[in-house]
Amino acid sequence: MDRLVEESRGGETCQNLAWAMEDEMRRGASQIGEMGALWDQAEKEVSRGLGKDDYAILMRLRQGRPQGDIVASQSEIGLVLSHLAMEAQRKRESEVKERLQPLSEGVWKILKADEMGSLEARSAQRLEGMVGTKHQGAFDLQTLSAVLSPSATESMDPKRKRRLKRTLNRLNADYPFAPAPYCVGTVSEGREMIRSLCKEVISLAKAVHLAALETTHSYRPHHDAYFKNFNLSSLSAEDWLFFPQVVVMIDAEDLSPKEESILWDLLDSPFPVRIFLQTHDPLEPLSKTLERSSVMSLSKRAATGESFVLQTPASHLPRMSETLQRGMTYKGPSLFTVLVGNGEHSSLDGETQSRAAWEARLFPIFSSDPSKKGGMADQFSVENNPALDAPWAIHTVSFEDTELQRGEEEHAFTPLDIAACDNRWTDRFAVVPPDMWTDEMAPAGDRLSQEPGGILPIPYLLMVDGEGVLHRVVPEQTLIRETRNWHKGWIRLAQWGGINNSYSLLARREAKGEGGEESCFPSLDDEGKGGRVDTEVASLDRAPLPPSGPHLVPTIDTARCSTCDECIKLNKRMFVYNANKKAEIGDLEAGTFREMVEAAEVCKVAVIHPGNPWNPDEPGLEALKERAAPFN
C-alpha cells in the first residue's frame, strides 16, 4: 500500500484511503482468497460516502493493485512454500533447456550431414523435393541425379546412427519437470518419488554426456562399456540439476521414528528434496515426555551437515523470503522448520504465540547455507533474533499501584511468560498476593541468568487478571531448571553464529586492548560461578529460603505452595497450613518417610523435598531414598 501511495503521488488523503483499504482487506482476507476480489470488496466499503475528488484518488490506487492469491493465515503457509518451489522449478527447467538445446542441435547436424551425403539424398525424388514445384520444369532431375550420385559417400556405421538417433530422441523428449512441483505428504512418499525419477534423470544425463562426446568427435569404442554401466554414481555435479524438486510437507506430530530415519536419509543425500516441517507447540522443548526428537533439535542437527536449513516462526516468513528462495534453489536437500502457532492451549492467538516463542528464544531464527563460501561464520546465521548481545529481550512494564502511583519495572521475556499463558502449565505457578510481596523476590529473568548454588531470590512473573489487577506468580523450581537448560542451548546456538564465542571475544579484546569487554552470557563451563547471589534472603513468609539442593532434611518451598491440599490429605499432622494457607512441615514424628516421598510425588508444583529418612528402622528405606532422589 505504501508503494501504491508513492506511485500515485498522493498526499495525506491518499495515505488515509490506503490505510482504510488495508484495514478492510485484512478483515476480509480469510473469506476471500484472491487479491482482485478482495480489493473490490474493500473498495466497495471504503468508497461509501466519498466525494468526487477522494473517489478519484481511490481509483488511482486501484490502477497499481497487484494480482495473486491471498495467504490469510498461518495454516496456509504451505501455499507460500509451493509457490516458491514452483518459481525455483521454472528457473531450473530453463537452465536445463539451455544446456540441452546446443547438444540437440549438434547431434541433429551430424545426422543431417550424413543424410545429405548419402546416395539416397541424391536421388531424383529427393532432388525434386529440394527444388520445389515452381522450378521443377527448369531442371532435368534424372540427369542431375546421375551427375551427383558418383560423389555420394558411404553412410555412417549403422550402430552409431542408431545411437545418435536414440540420443536425439531423448534430448528432445519431455523433461521430468512437472507443471507444478512434486508435492507429497510424508518423507517416505518423498523417497519413493525420488526413486521413481532416478531412471528418467539417469537416462537424460546419459544422453547429454553421449551427445557432448559425439559433437566434439571424442566418442571412442571404450565409451560403449562406460555408457552401458551408466548409473546414479556416474552423474556429474551439473547433472544433479536434471532432478526436479520434490516438496515434502509434514506435520511434526506425524513424524514417527521410522519417518524421522528416512528424513535423515534424504537430508544426507544429494537430491533436491524440500522438506517443510511444521510444528504447533512452542513449549515442545520444555516437555520431557516426547518419544521423538523436537523440531529444533532436528534443525540444529541438520545444520551441521551439507543440507540447507532454515528455522523460523511463521510470523517471520515474509522477512525471511530471501533466505527461503536460496533454500529453494539450493543444489541439494533443504529443511524448512516453521512454528505455526495455533493457540489451542494458550490465551495467545497463533501469530502472537509464534512471535512470542521467537522472542523468548524458544524458537529462534537460524539458517545454514553450505553454498556460501567460507566456513561456519559465513554459512551459519542467527542475526534475525532480538537482543543478540543480551541473555534475554528486555521490556519495560508500566503499572499503577494501589495508591494510584505510576511504577515501572524492567522484565526479561522468557519461556516462562509463554508457559504462564498456557493452560497445560498454569498449575506449575503459584499466585502470590500483594501483601506477601517482599524485596527478596526478583524477576524471573534475573534468576534465570544466575547459576544454581547458594541462596537465590524467589523468581516471579508479572501477570494481570481479568480485572486489570497486577499479580506476581512464582514458577516451580523444575520449570526454572528446564528453562535455564533451554537457554543454554540458545547460547550455544548463538555462539555457532559468532555471538560471544571465544573467537569473537578474543577479537574484541585484541581490538580494545587489555580489559576488553566480556560475554554477557553466563559461562557454560563454570557451574556455580558468576551471577551468584550470596547474601542471605528470606522467603515470602520471612522464613529462610532453603538451598536449591541437594536437600538433606525434609523441606517445603512454602512460598511456592499452590494450596492443592494433596499433602494435607496424606497426613494433616505432618503437613500443615500457615496463616497464608501455604504448606509447611508440622510434626515429622507424626508421619513416615514413605508419606513424605509420596507427598513429593503428588505435589503439583514440586515444592516438597523429602531429604533423608529420620527413622533408620523404617522398612524399605533404600527403595524410598531412590524415589526421593529426583525431588532433593
Domain of 576: which CATH number? 3.30.70.20
How many Cβ atoms are within 10 Å of 541's Cβ, its own excluded? Answer: 15
CA-closest candidate to residue 180, choices 117, 116, 93: 93
- How many domains does the chain fold into? 4
Spatial separation of the C-alpha atoms in residues 242 and 147, rounded to whole Å: 49
Predicted pLDDT of residue 536: 30
Spatial separation of the C-alpha atoms in residues 194 and 176, rounded to whole Å: 11
Q: Is residue 207 part of a domain?
A: yes
- Tell whether 111 and 227 lie within a shared domain: yes
- Tell whether 61 and 111 lie within a shared domain: no
- Tell whether 478 and 591 lie within a shared domain: no
C-alpha cell at 39: 480489493
Predicted pLDDT of residue 294: 76
In the listed set 193, 217, 239, which residue is the last one of a domain according to the structure? 239
Predicted pLDDT of residue 130: 65
Is 24:53 a contact under the CB 8 Å cutoff? Answer: no
In the listed set 187, 205, 239, which residue is the last one of a domain according to the structure? 239
Predicted pLDDT of residue 121: 58
- Tell whether 498 and 622 lie within a shared domain: no
Predicted pLDDT of residue 62: 87
How many Cβ atoms are within 10 Å of 292's Cβ, its own excluded? Answer: 15
Predicted pLDDT of residue 146: 67
Q: Scanning the structure block, which residue is given the C-alpha cell 494433616?
A: 572
- Tell whether 499 and 582 lie within a shared domain: no
Predicted pLDDT of residue 528: 36
Q: Where are the alpha helices (DSSP H) in 238-395?
A: 257-267, 295-302, 321-329, 350-359, 376-379
Spatial separation of the C-alpha atoms in residues 230 and 485, rounded to whole Å: 51
- Tell whether 501 and 560 lie within a shared domain: no
Q: Is residue 314 part of a domain?
A: no
Predicted pLDDT of residue 6: 82
HSE toward the beta carbon, residue 66, CA cutoff 13 A: 7
Predicted pLDDT of residue 204: 92
- Tell whether 507 and 583 lie within a shared domain: no
C-alpha cell at 565: 491440599
Q: Where are the alpha helices (DSSP H) in 441-592?
A: 444-448, 477-496, 502-512, 566-570
Spatial separation of the C-alpha atoms in residues 56 and 449, rounded to whole Å: 59
Q: Is residue 31 part of a domain?
A: yes
Q: In which residue ranges of the chain is pLDDT below 50? A: 288-290, 523-548
Please state the three-class secondary structure of 57-110 as a single string: HHHHHHHCCCCCECCCCHHHHHHHHHHHHHHHHHHHHHHHHHHHHHHHHHHHHH
Predicted pLDDT of residue 525: 43
- Tell whether 61 and 138 lie within a shared domain: no
- Tell whether 417 and 478 lie within a shared domain: yes
> In this structure, which amino acid lies at residue 108?
W
In the listed set 190, 217, 239, which residue is the last one of a domain according to the structure? 239
- Tell whether 170 and 50 lie within a shared domain: no
Q: Is residue 360 part of a domain?
A: no
Spatial separation of the C-alpha atoms in residues 171 and 439, rounded to whole Å: 79
- Tell whether 497 and 621 lie within a shared domain: no
C-alpha cell at 543: 522464613
Q: Is residue 569 part of a domain?
A: yes
Q: Is residue 213 part of a domain?
A: yes
- Tell whether 457 and 572 lie within a shared domain: no
Q: Which domain holds residue 458?
A: 393-512
Predicted pLDDT of residue 539: 32
Q: Is residue 85 part of a domain?
A: no
Q: Is 581 helix (H, G, I), strand (E, B) or coil?
A: coil
Give the pTM.
0.69
